[in-house]
Amino acid sequence: MASTSARPVAIKIDADIKARMKRLAEARHRTSHWLMREAITQYVEREEKREAFRQDTLKAWEEYRTTGLHATADEVDAWLASWGTDDERPAPECHK
């Protein structure tokens, strides 16, 4: 998600990481600043996806607790095993 204005932020890193960042930036023909922004952007995007997955999991768990509807692992495994075959099955129906 691109922002309309960038604002400076200070972070403290140890000398070893700073040197490694500098060597990597030189090898990639980028600035250390670019690498740090890219690393932070990738981290935030990855963690947002993880959090969305976690929230979806909690929502699914709560729905199961409320309704009791489910498909067994064996039912889902059989359905997935049929994918790409001449006898491809529809998704299993949820039941109690």
Task: Report the C-alpha gap between 7 and 30 in whole angstroms.
Answer: 20
- Tell me if 1 is assigned to some domain: no
Residue 40 within any structural domain of the chain: yes
In whole angstroms, what is the distance from residue 80 CA to residue 51 CA?
A: 26
Does residue 54 fall inside a structural domain? yes
Largest separation between any pair of C-alpha atoms in the chain: 60
Question: What is the predicted pLDDT for the residue at 4?
Answer: 75
90 has pLDDT over 80: yes
Q: How many domains does the chain have?
A: 1
57 within a domain of the structure (yes/no): yes
Q: pLDDT digit string (tens) for 43-82?
A: 999 999 999 999 999 999 999 999 999 999 999 999 999 9
pLDDT at 5: 87
Write out the residue range of the structural domain in which residue 42 sits.
15-68
From CA 13, how far away is CA 33, in angstroms rounded?
A: 13
Six token digits for residue 81: 């095993």
The alpha helices in 1-96, defined as continuous H runs, are: 15-28, 32-67, 73-82
CB 36 within 8 A of CB 6: no
Confidence band of 3 (pLDDT split at 50, 70, 90): low
Is residue 13 predicted with pLDDT exceeding 70? yes
Band (2; pLDDT cuts 50, 70, 90): low
pLDDT band per the 50, 70, 90 thresholds, residue 6: confident
